[in-house]
Structure 1
Amino acid sequence: MDSVSQLALGAAVSVAVMGRRTAVWKAAAWGAVAGTLPDLDVLVDHGDAIRNMVLHRGATHSLFWLTLLSLPLAAAVARLHGEGALWRRWWLALWLALVTHPLLDTMTVYGTRLALPFSDWPYAVGSIFIIDPLFTLPLLAGAGWALASRGSARGLRANAAGLLLGCAYLGWSAVAQAQVERVARASLAAQGITAGQVLVTPTAFNTVLWRVVAIDGAHYHEGFYSLLDETPTMRFDRFDRGTALAPALQDIAGVRLVAAFSKGFYKLHADGDELFVTDLRMGQEPAYVFTFAVAERHSPVRPLATPEQRSARLDVRLGLAWLWRRALGEELPPPR
């Protein structure tokens, strides 16, 4: 999730755990710090754009390593404030602020390595967009009320209510995702599309309009479904996955990394003499966040010394206008 959401979640969790045992500003401040710490891995350069992508949300998002970090962090905070008797309570607050960060990240589609060092698997539910105001605003409002009221009973109840609303929204997103997946699979079957893999993720800033990607051998199919659509059916557009380029690119490390990290939701394509690999999970056709130039077309193909990220974006005004109208159930083709 975005930094504001993680900061708000960490602050709200810490305030809920500490209650009136310490000044509410201390609990909120240290919770916000703990909720932000795991994302400091973005400051680490792993050598190239592809490795920076796939190694984000790695060791700093491991439940094991964060649990170990929580012990000295809690001891330092308790000593700093002269609250040694509250060390265990500070530990619980900061441990929860730390570990809820990767757990929340897991609800997005990116991929979070929760189980390091025991497993390298990037867990991803994909039921919430990386920025969603309906999740973040209740947390901000509740924690803000607790701070403004200096930890009054009403303020602490408001903070707890914000946390409950945030959790309920995450639960709702998973339920909505499951419903859209049922519609998508039924529509794919009705249209004679045999999909080996199906990805269902919300579009930007909401859990009403959903994007579905289905992998069908040498092609992928993209469709959109709104919970406000009149009929439970979907229309899909078909695109080439570039499998003809696979033999020439199969030995390029960056391509293998993207293929594994995306769990098969990727495409290969050429633009002039340049060859690219794209993660199909984040973005929509033809604009994707993670597109990388990895080689040049020669005989044989020549890998680039360093992969180059070539993100593409839709026109913001056009995209938001389509998003709003399509979410309300209006049948519109996606902007291309």
Structure 2
Amino acid sequence: MDSVTQLVLGSAVSIATLGRRTAVWKAALWGGIAGTLPDLDALIDHGDAILNMVLHRAESHALLYLTLLSAPLAWLVSRLHREPDLFTRWWLALWLALVTHPLLDWMTVYGTQLLLPLTNTPYAVGSVFIIDPLYTLPLLLGVLLALLLRHGRGIAWARAGLVLSTAYLGWSVAAQQMATQRFLAHAPVPQLAPGNLLVTPAPFNTLLWRAVAVTPTHYYEGYYGLLDGDRPVHWTAHERGADLYARYQGNALVDRITRFSHGFFKMSEAGGEVFITDLRMGNEPTYTFHFNLGSPAEMAGGQRPTTQQWQRPDLATALPWLWARMWGADVALAPPQAVRGQPSGSRP
């Protein structure tokens, strides 16, 4: 999730845990710091854009390592504020502020390596977008009221914010399951395996859902809104670059994206250079993680690091479409190559 959300989540968790045992501002300050700490790994440059992607949310987001960090951090804070008798409570508060950060990131689609060093599998639920005001606002309001109301009278508001935001996460999972069933019922190819379907929310909401279905040769993108009624899902079909993947399978960086994206990627070639794209974040034809691997000779010789080329959407077009589509309007963002979902048909 975004940095503001992680900060207020850490503050709210710390305020709720410490209660009236210490000043609310202390709990908010250190909870916010603990809630932000895991994302400091984004400042590390690994010298390659793909490595920067796949090594983010790694050790700094591992539950074991954050648990080990929580005790010395709590000892430092309790001594700094001359509250050694509150060490145990500070430990609990800061441990919760630390571990709720990766647990919230787990709810997004990016991928969080929660169980390092046991496994470096990037876990992702994908039920919330990385910025969702309906999740963040209850937390922010609760923390502000806790800080503004005197004598700890606002602590209950911080706890209420946590309850509401957690309930919203529960709703997001339920909504994702409803959307998934709809996409499977209107799949673009027959007998689509659930593992070949990715369902994530469109930006800033949990009413409109985006799906990507993959086959060995093609990928399909479709949208379903919970307010669409009985309208069938319309899909657009695109080639995945199967020939390119067959040629470069085994390349270390290609294999990293293949694994990190759980197979939701495409490859393409333009201007004598090879590209690989993570299909999970963005929408056709604009994707956040679109990487230039270089020319075939450069790939073979490892002569240069990959670079990320963020394909930014036209917000003047995308935001009005998002608002209308979210409320059930049957509008297309761009003229589609339409493939209507159906229970039967030939595979591409």
Alignment TM-score, normalising by the size of structure 1: 0.96
User: Residue type of the partner of 2:326?
Assistant: A
Q: CA deviation at 1:300?
A: 9.5
Aligned to 2:226: 227
CA contact (8 A) 1:23 1:150 kept: no
CA contact (8 A) 2:24 2:152 kept: no
User: Residue type of the partner of 1:188?
Assistant: A
Aligned to 1:18: 18
CA contact (8 A) 1:142 1:162 kept: yes
Q: 1:7-46 maps to which residues of 2 (within 5 A)?
A: 7-46=7-46
* Percent of aligned pairs with the same amino acid: 53
**Residues 1:83 and 2:83 aligned together:** yes
Q: 1:13-162 maps to which residues of 2 (within 5 A)?
A: 13-153=13-153, 155-162=154-161
Q: CA deviation at 1:192?
A: 3.4
Aligned to 2:329: 330
Q: CA deviation at 1:143?
A: 0.7
Alignment deviations for residues 72-100 of structure 1 (CA, whole Å, 9 cap, x no partner): 00000000000000000000000000000
The secondary structure found in structure 2 opposite 1:85 is helix
The secondary structure found in structure 2 opposite 1:19 is helix
CA contact (8 A) 1:19 1:151 kept: no
CA contact (8 A) 1:318 1:335 kept: no
User: Residue type of the partner of 1:39?
Assistant: D
Aligned to 2:342: none
CA contact (8 A) 1:322 1:335 kept: no
Structure 1 stretches (4+) deviating beyond 4 angstroms?
297-304
Q: CA deviation at 1:137?
A: 0.5
- 2-structure distance, mates of 1:123, 1:246: 24
Q: CA deviation at 1:272?
A: 2.0
CA contact (8 A) 1:294 1:303 kept: no
* Residues 265 and 100 of structure 1, relative CA distance in 2, 3 Å threshold: same
Aligned to 2:307: 308
Q: CA deviation at 1:156?
A: 1.2
Q: 1:132-211 maps to which residues of 2 (within 5 A)?
A: 132-153=132-153, 155-188=154-187, 192=190, 194-195=192-193, 197-211=196-210
The secondary structure found in structure 2 opposite 1:306 is coil
Alignment deviations for residues 15-35 of structure 1 (CA, whole Å, 9 cap, x no partner): 000111000000000000000
The secondary structure found in structure 1 opposite 2:187 is helix
- 2-structure distance, mates of 1:164, 1:46: 38
* The 10-residue stretch of structure 1 (5-14 or 252-261) with the greater mean CA deviation from structure 2: 252-261
The answer to which structure, 1 or 2, has the higher relative contact order (CA under 8 A, 6+ apart) is 2
- 2-structure distance, mates of 1:300, 1:17: 52
Aligned to 1:255: 254
* Residues 304 and 210 of structure 1, relative CA distance in 2, 3 Å threshold: farther
- Structure 1: give runs of 5+ residues left out of the alignment: none
* Residues 302 and 273 of structure 1, relative CA distance in 2, 3 Å threshold: farther
* Residues 334 and 116 of structure 1, relative CA distance in 2, 3 Å threshold: same
The secondary structure found in structure 1 opposite 2:236 is strand
User: Residue type of the partner of 2:8?
Assistant: A
- Structure 2: give runs of 5+ residues left out of the alignment: 336-348
Alignment deviations for residues 168-197 of structure 1 (CA, whole Å, 9 cap, x no partner): 0000000000000000001017x6363560
Q: CA deviation at 1:270?
A: 1.0
User: Residue type of the partner of 1:230?
Assistant: G
- 2-structure distance, mates of 1:96, 1:313: 35
Alignment deviations for residues 128-182 of structure 1 (CA, whole Å, 9 cap, x no partner): 00000000000000010000013533x1111111000000000000000000000
Instruction: Quote the RMSD (CA, aligned, Å).
Output: 1.6
Aligned to 2:284: 285
CA contact (8 A) 2:184 2:192 kept: no
CA contact (8 A) 2:19 2:152 kept: no
- 2-structure distance, mates of 1:178, 1:138: 24
- 2-structure distance, mates of 1:118, 1:179: 33
User: Residue type of the partner of 2:330?
Assistant: E
User: Residue type of the partner of 1:70?
Assistant: S
Q: CA deviation at 1:303?
A: 5.4
Q: CA deviation at 1:313?
A: 1.1
- 1-structure distance, mates of 2:300, 2:179: 41
CA contact (8 A) 2:8 2:139 kept: yes
The secondary structure found in structure 2 opposite 1:305 is coil
- 2-structure distance, mates of 1:90, 1:41: 24
- 2-structure distance, mates of 1:239, 1:152: 57
**Residues 1:217 and 2:216 aligned together:** yes
Aligned to 1:319: 318
Aligned residues: 334
Q: CA deviation at 1:279?
A: 0.3
CA contact (8 A) 1:295 1:302 kept: no
